[in-house]
């Protein structure tokens, strides 16, 4: 009974996600869905991405953000303060964003054709992995402070990821995190996913990440699988 209802909720969401995908393609929006624990550094990565995109020589791509949180509009205000456009979606007790809410938020933001639209999901490495939002790619954001075995412990999110951003690399000298062990754990769950190693605080490793995020990198087998 519970499983049937869960299946029904997911099927309803999948229909809305399919509609989103058509909406996004119609507007030529590249849409990324960022998943990660509370405090993994999702918003900080977006702040640093805004800065890095603004510093690039080519005409800057526009970055628009849909922020999902149980409460507060702290993250939308951070994006706006960094020069981006953002809307906040409050989920209350909800543990993830659903496709229907994303359609409304995207239409409210209404980015120009060709924009990059990033959905920052509710801080949660578990539930958001199950809900398709119609995005082009899911990105798992995980920080060096969370431990190197997390891909094995939360395999559903890491398996669903089209890219991984390993954040807070500036803290590597101070935390018990074995980078090789982490990459090995990633490979066991998701053998070909690209991993971008970044420090938003120090502005490190953002070039390759931005190129991938903009969708201008060739997403084939010869894409960088580890880069920093």
Task: Kindly list the residues in this chain that would bind a copy of itself in the complex (CB under 8 A).
Answer: 1-2, 5, 9, 37-40, 69-72, 74-75, 93, 95, 122-127, 130, 142-143, 145-147, 149-150, 152-156, 168, 170-171, 174-176, 201
Contacts of 87 (CB under 8 A, 6+ apart): 65, 66, 67, 76, 105, 108, 109
Nearer to a copy of itself, 34 or 214 (CB): 34
H/E run at residue 21: helix 2-27
Strand extents, DSSP E, 168-213: 195-197
CB 101 to a copy of itself: min, Å: 14
Nearer to a copy of itself, 24 or 154 (CB): 154
CB 95 to a copy of itself: min, Å: 4
Tell me whether residue 128 is exposed, middle or buried, using C-beta atoms within 10 angstroms of its C-beta: 0 to 12, 13 to 18, 19 or more: buried
Q: How far apart are CA 30 and CA 15, in angstroms?
A: 19
Nearer to a copy of itself, 41 or 111 (CB): 41
CB 128 to a copy of itself: min, Å: 10
Contacts of 125 (CB under 8 A, 6+ apart): 35, 36, 37, 40, 140, 142, 150, 154, 157
Look-up of token digits 């507060």: 72
Longest alpha-carbon distance in the chain: 56
CB atoms within 10 A of CB 124: 20
CB 55 to a copy of itself: min, Å: 21
Nearer to a copy of itself, 149 or 178 (CB): 149
CB 122 to a copy of itself: min, Å: 7
Nearer to a copy of itself, 116 or 129 (CB): 129
Nearer to a copy of itself, 30 or 42 (CB): 42
CB 154 to a copy of itself: min, Å: 6
């Amino acid at each position: 009974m519970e499983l049937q209802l869960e299946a029904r909720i997911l099927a309803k969401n999948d229909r809305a996600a399919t509609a989103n995908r058509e909406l996004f393609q119609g507007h030529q929006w590249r849409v990324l869905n960022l998943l990660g624990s509370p405090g993994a550094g999702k918003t900080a990565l977006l702040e640093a991405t805004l800065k890095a995109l603004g510093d690039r020589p080519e005409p800057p791509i526009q970055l628009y953000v849909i922020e999902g949180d149980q409460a507060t509009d702290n993250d939308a205000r951070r994006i706006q303060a960094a020069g981006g456009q953002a809307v906040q979606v409050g989920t209350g007790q909800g543990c993830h964003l659903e496709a229907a809410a994303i359609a409304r938020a995207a239409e409210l933001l209404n980015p120009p054709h060709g924009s990059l639209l990033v959905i920052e999901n509710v801080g949660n490495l578990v539930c958001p992995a199950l809900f398709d939002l119609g995005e082009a790619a899911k990105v798992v954001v995980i920080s060096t402070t969370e431990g190197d075995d997390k891909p094995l412990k939360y395999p559903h999110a890491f398996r669903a990821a089209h890219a991984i951003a390993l954040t807070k690399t500036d803290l590597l000298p101070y935390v018990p995190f074995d980078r090789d062990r982490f990459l090995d754990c990633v490979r066991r769950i998701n053998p070909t996913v690209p991993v971008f190693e970044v420090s938003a605080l120090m502005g490190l490793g953002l070039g390759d990440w931005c190129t991938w995020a903009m969708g201008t990198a060739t997403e084939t087998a010869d894409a960088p699988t580890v880069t920093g």
